Amino acid sequence: MKLSIIGVPLAFVICKLLEDVVPLFIDFGAVGVARVVQARVRQHLKLSPRAFATLDARTATSAELARYLRLDGCVCVENVFDDATREQVLAELTPHFETETRGIGGDEFGGGGANQTGRVGSIVLKSETSHKLALDRLVLGAVEDVLLPHTKKIGFKVMETIRMLPGGHGRQALHQEEGQWPIAKDWPVGSDYTVDVMFALSDFTAANGATHVIPGSNLWSGRGGKVDDSMPTIRAEMKKGSVFMFTGSLVHAGGSNHADDPRIGLVFGYQVGFLRPEANHVLSVQPDKAKDLPAPVQELLGYPLRYTPVSTPSKYKPGPGALAYRAAGAYAYNGAPDGHPSRLVPYAEFEEIHHSF
């Protein structure tokens, strides 16, 4: 009897740990097992997090970045984009900062309260130069490496600027991006269904609000639950032109700006195609505008029949008429030509109706 009182919960704990450890053992051997054990010791003893890796885009490979994403939940990459690109993106977006959304939800989380954060969405429509960032081969290759094992299509999760202005004194609550979907708690440890990429349009410093992060928290137990907001963090400081990539399981929080300079980040988040995206991109970038965007951007917005990895351009071959088909689907959504608003018009039929599309 006594044996079963101790034995049953112990067996449960061991099975759960094995379930979490085996996939990492298969992919990374003893390193994978050690990382899960370390992460959980740090979690339960509330120890300071391990440091994250910083790589140089001129020498790093997508596979290397993906390895860090899976083991640490994050990685910083320097020299991803040059000053000319950064200035061009800023020049295209600056007029939109005047009407940016402040304080979604009115609290520190959304940038209201004392947090002083503004956001601008529909980025691919507002900045042509941003397409280069969204489709960066090194970065997107790593995103694909993490996400494509789980899905045939990936898409944008979110695309927005996060401009943190001086004068803030409230930090966001610690959270995991994947916590937005209820599947988080059942998703295997060491793999992810979202990856966010913060492109630094300005320097990110601890003083101006660099993101609070807990490398290794992607391997914690209790994924998708409420995160203890008192856990120790480190800051994702980086130079302009760098990116900070993090998986949906990484515990993090936007900081607050008590310096004199604004912290300006551009986030492209990516997710598996079968989940409803965090933002509704086919509403914010409607078909009449989407049709003029590059095909891979259309695909990431959610117009695709399928997704072809864009990190390998030689393999990127959208079929003839793919754009028209995508537009057909979207057109039907807004009101089909035959008056059935919710019917998806097959390609052939659509071509017959709209030869000149």
Applying CB under 6 A, the residues found at the interface with ligand AKG are: 162, 172, 211, 252, 254, 265
Strand partners, 266: 161, 199
Q: How far is CA 235 from the centre of its chain?
A: 18
SS3 assignment, position 69: helix
Between 141 and 209, CB nearer to ligand AKG: 209
Between 204 and 325, CB nearer to ligand AKG: 204
Closest CA to 322 of 344, 296, 342: 296
Residue 308 is encoded by which pair of tokens? 């072809």
Q: CA-CA distance, 73 to 220, in Å (whole number)? A: 11
Between 215 and 287, CB nearer to ligand AKG: 215
Q: How far is the CB of 15 from ligand AKG (least distance, A)?
A: 33
Dihedral sign, Cα of residue 38, residue 41, residue 42, residue 47: negative
Q: How far is the CB of 275 from ligand AKG (least distance, A)?
A: 16
Between 191 and 211, CB nearer to ligand AKG: 211
Q: How far is the CB of 216 from ligand AKG (least distance, A)?
A: 17
Q: How far is the CB of 158 from ligand AKG (least distance, A)?
A: 8
Q: CA-CA distance, 233 to 212, in Å (whole number)? A: 6
Q: How far is the CB of 352 from ligand AKG (least distance, A)?
A: 45
- First-residue to last-residue Cα distance in the chain: 75
Q: How far is the CB of 265 from ligand AKG (least distance, A)?
A: 6
Residue 36 is encoded by which pair of tokens? 């899960």
Q: Which helix (H) or strand (E) holds 14?
A: helix 2-28
For helices 62-72 and 137-147, what crossing angle results, to 10°? 50
